[in-house]
Amino acid sequence: MPVPLEAMPVHLDSHAAVDPISTYYVQDKKATFPEYIVAQALDLLGYEYWFQLSFAGGRQRAGGLVLDFLVDTFPMPTPIWVQGEYWHSGAQRSEDILAMIELNYLMGGMLAEPVEIFEDEVPDVESALAILRERVI
């Protein structure tokens, strides 16, 4: 269960110990810098989540997909896609939209509306907190 926002003091130095060149891990899985930032914000907000969840075979199978985050929200879990500029623009953009539709179909409509967070929106944890508060909570 999430911690009430008003009861949660958050004092962060958005640039402390954050180096976009380093290798990051979330739940023992390799993460991009934006995924790491979003995970830090989810942790601060007190949400339980699963990272890099495979559906329909994941990357090992044609038609499979990998969801960045599935967040335990009420009344239904919320899928979060963290989209990088390089991999998720141009022609890939239509595939991203199709993946969101496919995931909803695979889960029988039992998911909240997907949330997309683009890498340029989360340069630091404070930005990720603001986005999550706006789009997920």
pLDDT greater at residue 72 or residue 95: 72
3-state helix, strand, coil split of the chain in percent (to 5) is 35, 20, 40
Number of Cβ within 10 Å of residue 78's Cβ equals 21
pLDDT greater at residue 58 or residue 11: 58
pLDDT greater at residue 110 or residue 39: 39
Q: List domains and CATH numbers for the chain.
A: 27-135 (3.40.960.10)
DSSP letter assigned to residue 82: E
Residue 134: both structure tokens together: 């706006």
- Tens of pLDDT, residue by residue over 31-76, are 999 999 999 999 999 999 999 887 765 565 666 688 899 999 999 9
Torsion of CA 117, 118, 120, 122, to 10 degrees: 20
Band of pLDDT at residue 99, cut at 50, 70 and 90: confident
